[in-house]
Structure 1
Amino acid sequence: MAAALLVVLGFTLLGIESGSGAGSNIQTSIHDDGSKTRLTCTLNSSDTAILGHRWMKGDRVVQEDSQPDLTTEYEVDPEERSGQYFCTFLSEPAGRTASLTVNGPPKIEAVTKSELGIQGERVVLACESQSFPPVTEWAWYKIQDSGDQLLNNKSQNKFVVSSETRTELHIQELDLKADPGQYACYGTNSEGKDRAIITLRLRSRLAALWPFLGVVTEVVVLVTIILACEKCRKTDEALGEEDTGSAPPKSSGHRMNDKDKRNAN
């Protein structure tokens, strides 16, 4: 798979179509029909059997079949329209590959739509885009009722790290009052712009200890109950022993009262 990706990238950098056999080449076309976009690759000839076709977007396989046709088509997902696509005619000993580029505005996606941070620590909010042409400008804002606040490397406890396909907002020493809220990442290319929103929630540093403290409290209560029960049991045993030792011995003989003694005299 790694070797195949290197071959595909090589074709992209050279900007040519590959083929094997005399006069072998691929014709490509992009056809828009309303909201649908259809990509077509046609191999003019082949002196080896076609074993199937593979379509890739970037380094991801999006369609594959085992048909022997000299033409293959792929209908682009409207939600992921823009990007660089590759069609490959599978054959032995080597396949034939051509590239097609579909331009469009960026589609920005948040890596996580909600993030939970802890007071005093750090958090990273991230957005990505696989659109083509690549994003040329990223921007971060904090959404506020009084107006969105632009964030950059000069902002307090915040800095931004960006590339063509990803941007990150690093927030250090999180403040429980100032930092929670909604953050928007904007991406712009020559075809337009898009944004994604991430919600940042914070909890106090002590809140992270609450589950542990709850467990400790339960253990202390349980130990206290066990000790109390053990003390009560020992007390009952001691009282039982005292009652047994102080009881007067029972006499089996006849006890004479004072009246009997007088009559006897």
Structure 2
Amino acid sequence: MHTVSEVLWLDDYTQDAMPILVAVGNRQPDEPMYSDVETTTPAPERGTGVAHGTENEGEADLFSSDLIHWITPGHLFKLSCNMTNDDSTNFTLDWFRDDEKLESNDHIKIITANSSLIINDPTKDDSGIYRCQTRAGIPKDNPLVKNFTVIYFTIRKMTKSIVVTDQEELSLECPVDGKPFPKIVWRKDSVSLLEMKANDSRINFATNENEVPNAKLIISKVDPNDRGNYTCNVTTPFGSYEVFTYVRVKDIYAALWPFLGILVEVLLLGIIIFIFEKRRAKAEFEESDTDQGNDQKNTDHHKDSVRQRK
């Protein structure tokens, strides 16, 4: 028998949900496979995933493969582990996370009455391998065990496009976080950058701000050929998701051309003003000489008139 979990993408603003069915565990021959369910889903614009699972009760699934659950901060998280014997008497259980026994406290509540574990506001540190187990010697010498794989995962959209100058360094960060760490694969125009790295020493990978391996892509001294669509493909136990951005490479002298254009305009304007001022000064000087010549002629004529009267 298998368990079907319904994964809901919750948007921080609209609270719209998109259900995705994920089959977990072993399948019986007479049960459907959900073969039409897509395993690759586009990442949400905002928000994180939260898994709401249905548990099968009884001994039938006590030894099935791990049940996978997805926690997210701000959402109540619950695990149920009902185990009964032949006369339907509940066993007393202990809870463990990564082999460390858990006790009820302000953060974790263990409800003995219905054999459940509740975390009101889970954090990244609450992920791990959970185990419910009957106490030693019950029943007989073989304790009943049920395992749950609890993961933490968040992802965001990348910037739609980015502009980088020729010969500068390109740094792209995949906005993803998870525990355990998801697997990251970078692609440029559908070609694996890991394969391209073998022939291009400029390409390197590093951890992002959340310490996720290979979640940061670094290309030193980009050139026009680096222009294109870059995709970060993320693989988790729930499926694969991808986010992407478009990279544009700007000419190293692109910012210089507008400056040179402005400089030429200023020089031309200066030359025009200089020529205009020079011509105006020359015209004023010639006009001044003409006025002085006329004044001199008038003076001589006046002197001649005085002599004639004498």
TM-score (norm: length of structure 2):
0.47
Residue 263 of structure 2 corresponds to 216
Gaps of 5+ in 1: 1-31, 38-76, 89-94, 256-265
C-alpha separation in 1, matches of 2:292 and 2:46: 95
Q: Residue 182 of structure 1: SS of its match in structure 2? A: strand
The alpha-carbon deviation at position 149 of structure 1 amounts to 1.0
Say whether residues 1:81 and 2:37 are aligned partners. Answer: no
Residue 158 of structure 1 corresponds to 203
The alpha-carbon deviation at position 105 of structure 1 amounts to 9.0
C-alpha separation in 2, matches of 1:155 and 1:139: 17
Say whether residues 1:168 and 2:216 are aligned partners. Answer: yes
Question: 1:210–1:190: structure 2 CA closer, same or farther, 3 Å change rule?
Answer: same
Say whether residues 1:97 and 2:107 are aligned partners. Answer: yes
Question: 1:215–1:104: structure 2 CA closer, same or farther, 3 Å change rule?
Answer: farther
Residue 183 of structure 2 corresponds to 137
Residue 128 of structure 1 corresponds to 175
**Equivalent residue for 1:115, pick from 152, 158, 162:** 162
Say whether residues 1:245 and 2:292 are aligned partners. Answer: yes
Total equivalences in the alignment: 173
Root-mean-square deviation (CA), in Å? 3.6
Residue 243 of structure 2 corresponds to 196
C-alpha separation in 1, matches of 2:280 and 2:193: 68
For residues 167-218 of structure 1, the C-alpha deviation after alignment (integer angstroms, 9 at most, x for no partner) is 1111112111x11010101111111110111100012111121232233223
Question: 1:78–1:115: structure 2 CA closer, same or farther, 3 Å change rule?
Answer: closer
C-alpha separation in 2, matches of 1:118 and 1:35: 40
- Asked if 1 retains the 8 angstrom alpha-carbon contact of 2:47 and 2:156, the reply is no
For residues 15-70 of structure 1, the C-alpha deviation after alignment (integer angstroms, 9 at most, x for no partner) is xxxxxxxxxxxxxxxxx988488xxxxxxxxxxxxxxxxxxxxxxxxxxxxxxxxx
The alpha-carbon deviation at position 140 of structure 1 amounts to 0.4
The alpha-carbon deviation at position 112 of structure 1 amounts to 2.4
Question: 1:35–1:125: structure 2 CA closer, same or farther, 3 Å change rule?
Answer: closer
C-alpha separation in 2, matches of 1:86 and 1:107: 13
TM-score (norm: length of structure 1):
0.54
